[in-house]
Amino acid sequence: MKIVPILIIVSFFALGAVKAEYRAPYPLNENEKSEYISKKYYEIVGIRINKVSLEDISKILGESEIYKGTHTASHVCYKNKSEKLEFTVSSLGYGYTVSQYDSGPNKCSELEREFINNAGLKVGLTKSEVISLAGDPSKKTDSRFTYIFWVQEKPENEVEERLRKVHKIPVSEEIWLDVYSVIDVEFKGGLVRMYSVHTTETY
C-alpha cells in the first residue's frame, strides 16, 4: 500500500496537472527507465502476452499442457528444433522466456516457428545487435543485459474498488499500482542464449 507524499502532490499541482494518471517512482536507480515498456516486447509468435490467458494461447498456437510453477504462476510451453518458448501468467503479472532448447524431459508442445519477438529479439544475436534494438541496458555484465522500466499508475475504478474492499484500504489513502517491467538477456560465447520479458503489477 502506497501513500503519496505531500511534496509529490504539491509538485503535480504546481505543474498544472489536475490528476496524474502515472508518475515516475522516486527510488529509480541510474539507467532505469521511468516509462512503460514498449508493447512490441509483449508480442511474439502472434501472441500479445498482456492481452490473453494461457488457455487462449493454447487454443491459438495449438493444444499444450498448462502447468503450475512457483507461488501463483502457471505456464504453457512450446519448442521448435533448437529453442523453447515458455509463457507465464500469475496473480502479479505476465511474461515469457525464450531459451536454447534442452532435449531433456519437458512439457513443451511442438511449434515450428521462429521465436523472435516484435522488437526483433531472438536467440543468437550479438551484444551489439541487442543494443541496436533495445538501447543501452540498465545493468550490464559480461554475460547478461537487464533493461528495467518502472512507472506508477492509477488503477481503473473497478480495480481500485476491489483493492479497497479486499484489503480494507480507507478512501483517505491513495492507491498507486507499480508497473515494473524487466527484459533480461543472457549471453553465452557472446551470443544470446536466453531472453525474457516480464511485467509485474503490485501496489
Digitized pLDDT (tens) for each residue of the chain, 203 residues in all: 343 332 222 222 333 333 558 999 999 999 999 999 999 999 999 999 999 999 999 999 999 999 998 889 999 999 999 999 999 999 999 999 999 987 655 789 999 999 999 999 999 999 999 999 999 999 999 999 999 999 999 988 988 998 899 889 999 999 999 999 999 999 999 999 999 999 999 98
* Domain with 75 in it: 6-202
Distance of CA 47 to the CA centre of its chain: 14
Place of cell 515458455: 86
Task: Flag whether 133 is in a domain.
Answer: yes
Task: Flag whether 1 is in a domain.
Answer: no
Q: What is the three-class DSSP state of 203? A: coil
Task: Flag whether 147 is in a domain.
Answer: yes
Q: Provide the grid cell at 92.
A: 502479479
Task: Flag whether 27 is in a domain.
Answer: yes
Handedness of CA 42, 183, 37, 137 (dihedral sign): negative
pLDDT of residue 84: 95
Q: What is the three-class DSSP state of 102? A: coil
Q: Provide the grid cell at 166.
A: 479486499
Handedness of CA 29, 35, 39, 40 (dihedral sign): negative
Handedness of CA 154, 158, 159, 165 (dihedral sign): positive
How many C-beta atoms lie closer than 10 Å to residue 105's C-beta? 6
Cα distance between residue 173 and residue 26, in whole Å: 18
Q: How many domains does the chain fold into?
A: 1
Query: In sequence order, which residues have a C-beta less than 8 Å from that of residue 68 and are 6 or more positions away?
Result: 74, 75
pLDDT of residue 18: 37
Tell me which amino acid residue 132 is: S
Full-model pTM? 0.84
Is 101 within 8 Å of 82 (Cβ atoms)? yes
Cα distance between residue 13 and residue 157, in whole Å: 22
